[in-house]
Amino acid sequence: MGVIMRDGQDSGTVPDHYDTRTVGDPDGYDGALGGLKRRDFLKFCTGVAVTLGLGPGFGIRIADAATKAERPPVIWLSGQACTGCTESLLRTQHPTLESLILDHISLEYHETLNAGAGHRAEQHKEHILDKYRGQYLLIVDGSIPTGEAEAYCMVAGRTQRQSVEEAASGAAAIIATGSCASWGGIPSAAPDPTNARPVNAVVKDKPVITTPGCPANPYNLVSTVLHFLTFREFPEVDDKGRPVFAYGRLIHENCERRAHYDAGRFALEFGDEGHRKGYCLYKLGCKGPMTYANCPVIGFGDVAGEGAWPVGTGHPCFGCTEEGVGFFRPLHSLSDVENVEPPSAYPRVQAEEGEGVTPGAAAVVAGVGGAALGAGAVMTSRLARSGKGDGGDDSAGDDNARE
């Protein structure tokens, strides 16, 4: 009884392999995703394909998947979290939330978005978990309190750990979104009174895809979900379960301020000349050199696009996506550098341009020049004088000769 009920169909099968025969009538794409024109719709699907690193040719498969009548059910469980991940999902633009949950997936349970409440909402969740066992997608945000502190997060009489374990047992796939669900996030930072753990610490028999971030960039979450809908499998992930299309590169590698880092131009304190000129924030504690995320490429939170992210606004990255960095390292402490080390001595923010000639230096140069000129002239005239006398074997002598 979630706010969004699925279409009439109970279940559907999505072809495992792409086949040209399954490409629908192109005109059939008209009106997709809540009334897009065919051209706009295909452009959007191609954009999604390219974002996933699949190449534009895959756009048609994304389009097929997005227009399929069958929409997979999704259960979203929230643990110890600030709801920031949901808040930022509500503002997603690629696609918009309504097209995601109306046209792509069937969001059956989400504590923030549920229309029903209390027993009705829980009843609907139980119904879906049972009816679509092995087919639904489980998304979790927020960390899970464990051990003696397990009871600190309870919904409908069950602890978060029990809820997650129950939902995970019948899930087709599991995504942990946000840093809390991915690796523990802020609840797991000292003093960690709830013994907070990520999803993959509770669910050990199934792979958990993680899209860390505080909040997770909805672009990365939605792209991962659409990849799953299209191919029935997740994109390539790294050893921490993060999709490599989004988390394959250090922030430092694609940072718009990287050239300043390489040239040794650093902001040294907030508001100084280097900071105002947009120099590298490494010395203010930017964790970009040790944090894997695509923020410099697509911006933060899918809100305003490229350039709208912490470093773009003049604040150092604090490493929210990276376990052991965000919330663990002091905000303005120097980052480790995973690839090219910075020089151990930095140039100043304001280069000195030189003062030119000083009276002292001019005097020394003039003195030396004059002495050389005089000595040369004296030497030449002495040679000339003695040369008249005895030819080559002269003995004009200098200081050394008169020792």
Partner 1 sequence: MSGGSGHFAPLGGRLFTRTFAIASVLFLVAAVVLAQRFAGGLGAVANINDGYPWGMWVVVDVVIGTAFGCAGYVMALLVYILNRGHYDPLVRPALLAGLFGYTLAGVAVIIDLGRWWQFYNLLNPELMHGDSVMLEVGLCVLAYTVILWLEFAPAILERLGLRRAERIFDRGMFLLVALGVLLPTMHQSSLGTLLVVLGHQISPLWQSQLLPVLFLVSAILMGFATVVGEAVLASTGFRRPLERDLLGRVSRVMAYVALVWLVLRVVDLSVRGAFPLAFDGTVQAGMFWVEMTLHVVPLLLLASPAKRNQPPVLFASAALLLAGGIVYRINAYLVGYDPAGGTWAYFPSVPELLVTLGIFGLEVALYLLFVKKLPVLHRPEAHQA
Span of 66-74, 106-114, 222-230, 382-390 interacting with partner 1 by CB under 8 A: 382-390
String of DSSP letters for 212-246: --TTPPHHHHHHHHHHHHHHSSPPPB-TTS-BHHH
Residue 389 touches partner 1, criterion: CB under 8 A: no
Q: Position of tokens 């203010």? A: 284
Residue 268 touches partner 1, criterion: CB under 8 A: no
| Beta bridge partner(s), residue 144 | 197
Span of 152-160, 186-194, 331-339, 376-384 interacting with partner 1 by CB under 8 A: 376-384
Q: Give the contact letters, 287-326, x = binds to partner 1 (CB under 8 A), - = no.
A: ----------------------------------------
Residue 324 tokens read as 């052991």
- Out of 9, 13, 333, 395, point to the residue binding partner 1 (CB under 8 A): 395
Burial class (CB in 10 A: 0-12, 13-18, 19+), 102: middle
Find the shortest distance in angstroms from Cβ 369 to partner 1: 9
- What is the bridge-based pairing of β-strands 154-155 and 158-159? antiparallel
**Amino acid making up residue 6:** R
Find the shortest distance in angstroms from Cβ 250 to partner 1: 23
String of DSSP letters for 9-33: -S-----SS--GGG---GGGGTTHH
Output phi, psi for 209, to 5 deg: -80, 135
Residue 3 tokens read as 């706010």
- Out of 115, 151, 304, 384, point to the residue binding partner 1 (CB under 8 A): 384
Closer CB to partner 1, 147 or 343, in the complex: 343
String of DSSP letters for 110-159: ETTT-SS-HHHHHHHHHHHHHHTTTT-EEEEESBEE-GGGGGGSEETTEE
Closer CB to partner 1, 35 or 347, in the complex: 347
Residue 397 touches partner 1, criterion: CB under 8 A: yes
C-beta atoms surrounding 195 within 10 Å: 17
**Amino acid making up residue 200:** N
Closer CB to partner 1, 26 or 397, in the complex: 397
Closer CB to partner 1, 21 or 402, in the complex: 402
Find the shortest distance in angstroms from Cβ 24 to partner 1: 56
Closer CB to partner 1, 13 or 358, in the complex: 358
Output phi, psi for 77, to 5 deg: -110, 135
Find the shortest distance in angstroms from Cβ 343 to partner 1: 8
Residue 394 touches partner 1, criterion: CB under 8 A: yes
What count of Cα atoms within 13 Å lies in the side-chain half-sphere of residue 51? 24
Span of 59-67, 120-128, 286-294, 341-349 interacting with partner 1 by CB under 8 A: 341-349
User: 335: Cβ–Cβ under 8 A, 6 or more apart, which residues?
Assistant: 282, 285, 286, 287, 288, 289, 290, 319, 329
Burial class (CB in 10 A: 0-12, 13-18, 19+), 263: exposed
Residue 341 touches partner 1, criterion: CB under 8 A: no
3-state secondary structure of 325: coil
Find the shortest distance in angstroms from Cβ 146 to partner 1: 49
Residue 278 touches partner 1, criterion: CB under 8 A: no
Find the shortest distance in angstroms from Cβ 393 to partner 1: 5
- Out of 118, 157, 271, 392, point to the residue binding partner 1 (CB under 8 A): 392
Span of 129-137, 183-191, 230-238, 384-392 interacting with partner 1 by CB under 8 A: 384-392
Q: Give the contact letters, 343-372, x = binds to partner 1 (CB under 8 A), - = no.
A: -xx-x---xxxxxxxx-xxx-xx--x---x
Binding site for partner 1 (CB under 8 A): 344-345, 347, 351-358, 360-362, 364-365, 368, 372, 376, 379-384, 386-387, 391-403
